[in-house]
Structure 1
Amino acid sequence: MELLSNAPVHRSVPDRYVFPPDKRPALLSDDHSPDVAFPVIDLHGGRLPVSDDHRHQVAAEIIRAGKEYGFFQVVNHGVGEGVVRGFREAAAEFFAMPAEDKLPYCSYDMSKRFRLATSTSYDRGETLYWRDYIKFRCYPASNENARHWPSKPANFTPSLIEYSAAVHELAQTILCLIAEGLGLDGGFFAGDLSGGDTHMSVNYYPPCPDPTVTMGLLAHCDRHLLTVLSQADVAGLQARHGDRWLLVHPIPGAFVVNFGHQMEIVTNGVLASAEHRAVTNSAVARMSVATHVHPTDGCRIRPASEMVHEAMNPAKYREFAFSEFMEAYDAADASREEVLQSFKICHD
């Protein structure tokens, strides 16, 4: 496997990374819109009271952001700066290791609990995406998960355990606020809906000699319930808003939060999964750390009864096991419309 991170400098974009003109990204300058910005929500250190007007206001802000964009950023979230920096530094060290040290982890086998690869597992045609990535199960730090993590760099495992536990707690807080904002019981998303192993994707995008001809990551929606992403201070994430691609501008210390397909289905379309992609830049490397909250494989997914009204808003999706959705997502190569079509209910 030829990894981009194995080359110290890329002088030109190899032909296999060059996309046809109609599939290339718009210039980032086209996406700097003064009138559209993804909401930034203050979580007040993650210590919101159990019940008061302030908490209800934050929950309402999350729902408004979810309905309008499917994306928002959270600040003052309670995850320590040192915790974030510690794992980001360990992950960067992993990609910087010599090729021979990374070789044992290289695989496109999606069943492996820790794997390193390049481009993407989906849409693997002749054109490659400009990224390397590691995917693995990060929480809980059970022996079954941890024994697959790399032994080098030495700080990888301890920093990962600290980071993933803190982000797990943050994700549960956000899910509780989402439930309350929708008028559901605060613990609605607890249990099987968020109780699967939490997965992590660490994406590494080296500096690209010509960002106008290639892409970092294909346009897609996430398959699971919720994503909490650290993108640090380097731009590159774009989210679709209507017929435009908007840059999610980095905010110091913030996490980007977006909904996956399961959130859209459970809320009967009230909170939609937003399509997003990654573009490259020529100046510096970019690394994003995405934490994905999953249902359990056997979890039965269906629109919440509170979100269904036979006359006003009938159920849009049939009931299914999450494992069935995972298979359909892989078969559809992450295509938003194709995978959702498999589970939609037709109303004549």
Structure 2
Amino acid sequence: MNPLYCYESLHHNYPKQIKDLKNLNIQEMEKLVSSWFNNKTLPQSYIFPPETRPGNHVIPRCNTIPVVDLSKALAYERTAVVQQILEASHEFGFFQVINHGVSENLVNDTMNVFKEFFELPAEDKAGIYSEDLKRPCRLYTSSPNFNSEKVHLWRDSLRHPCHPLKECIKIWPPKPTRYREIVAAYSIEAKKLGLRILGLLSEGLGLGSGFFGNKLSESTVLSLNHYPPCPDPSLTLGVSKHCDPNLLTILLQGDVYGLQVLKDGEWIGVEPLHNAFVVNIGHQLEIISNNKLKSAEHRAVTNSKVARTTAAFFISPSDDCIIEPAKSLIGTDESPVYRAFEFKEFLVNYIYMEGNFEKSVEPFKLHG
């Protein structure tokens, strides 16, 4: 066959191919919880086993997760703030920050545009929906393993990279029309906040300024989770129990409760605070600190009345970055708990182990 004919035929049919692909995506998008949840009973495929479902018991909230006023770190109370962050990171692996320097208007605009995205008509989101795990910017439901998982999560997710910003912004959702402008500004401020917190942690650990710069904090990813009202929140989960595999997470959780942290075998609810961010320690910080900081297991529960939208900003090392306990943190009477490894090696194992807390870190531990 004439190659030129093949090219012309392909070019001529290209609009039809795009249309067919979009129609296929719209059909696939029927899997999204937000497309079918209204007036439905909870499907069996969303009901978790009794030992992992949240149940109806009341979770303690608000008074146990430390709240850090970052404005005090700019004045004479800096040492006290550093110590508060260290203690929270060791005991809970979680804390909230207020007076963090991120404009309240920007925070509100960002949350509003996230909500607007999930409220878009199906045809406007069809180009973003994908079940291809290698696609960097994609909308999906439950988890990346929807077709093979035993139980589905009650959530829809949008995930995309934020670094390098000039390149990544080109693949972000084109709608809502202000999404790229607002989220670009937000991602810059979230990264600044994350580096500021890492700087305070570095100071407290005695690692010196700039320790967590460059490759250790090079990669940034934004993960939006949308949890529609659920017919029976006692039987399902928005996100199952896990630890984050990255360095540090900055969570914008909005004004609807749903985050729970596991401490001493008990679930603690994290109450939403006005214009606050939730910060949690990832596996890599736990490893670098030689277990002086804690990566805590956490989950998201649902509710029956209102939708909840959250945004997790993940700060991670580059794939080829070497991770190991900081040598200056290894005292004469202790040994490193972990061996050196490339971050991508950890990620592969984390995904294979489906985020299991112990199995994710076990291959990287030094024994004896």
- TM-score tier, shorter chain, comes to over 0.9
Q: Distance in 2 between matches of 1:43 and 1:138?
A: 24
1:340 matched to 2:340? The reply is no
Is the contact made by 2:226 and 2:309 (CA closer than 8 Å) also made in structure 1?
A: yes
Give the 3 Å change call, closer, same or farther, for CA 131–305 of structure 1 in structure 2.
Answer: same
The match for 2:272 is: 250
Q: How does 1:1-348 map to 2 (within 5 A)?
A: 1=28, 2-7=31-36, 9-27=38-56, 30-32=58-60, 37-44=64-71, 48-49=73-74, 53-121=76-144, 124-143=148-167, 145-196=168-219, 198-311=220-333, 313-347=334-368
Is the contact made by 2:261 and 2:296 (CA closer than 8 Å) also made in structure 1?
A: yes
Is the contact made by 2:37 and 2:228 (CA closer than 8 Å) also made in structure 1?
A: no
Q: Following TM superposition, where does structure 1 have runs of at least 4 consecutive aligned residues deviating by more than 4 angstroms?
A: none
Distance apart, 1:297 and its partner CA: 1.1
Q: Distance in 1 between matches of 2:340 and 2:156?
A: 35
Q: Secondary structure at the match of 1:219?
A: strand
Letter in 2 for 1:110: L
Q: Gaps (5+ residues) in structure 2?
A: 1-27
Letter in 1 for 2:267: W
Distance apart, 1:292 and its partner CA: 0.4
Higher-helix-fraction structure: 2
Q: Secondary structure at the match of 2:162?
A: strand
Is the contact made by 1:300 and 1:322 (CA closer than 8 Å) also made in structure 2?
A: yes
Give the 3 Å change call, closer, same or farther, for CA 105–128 of structure 1 in structure 2.
Answer: same
Q: Distance in 1 between matches of 2:362 and 2:240?
A: 20
Count of matched residue pairs? 338
Is the contact made by 1:129 and 1:215 (CA closer than 8 Å) also made in structure 2?
A: yes
Which has more radius of gyration? 2
Q: Deviations over 1:269-309 (max 9, x none)?
A: 00011101000000100011000001111111000011112
Letter in 2 for 1:271: L
Is the contact made by 2:245 and 2:284 (CA closer than 8 Å) also made in structure 1?
A: yes
Is the contact made by 1:122 and 1:333 (CA closer than 8 Å) also made in structure 2?
A: no
Between 234-243 and 119-128, report the one with greater CA deviation: 119-128
Q: Distance in 2 between matches of 1:332 and 1:223?
A: 12
Q: Distance in 2 between matches of 1:321 and 1:170?
A: 25
Q: Distance in 1 between matches of 2:306 and 2:84?
A: 34
The match for 2:19 is: none
Q: Deviations over 1:192-248 (max 9, x none)?
A: 11122x001100000001101111111110011000001111000001001011111
Identity %: 41
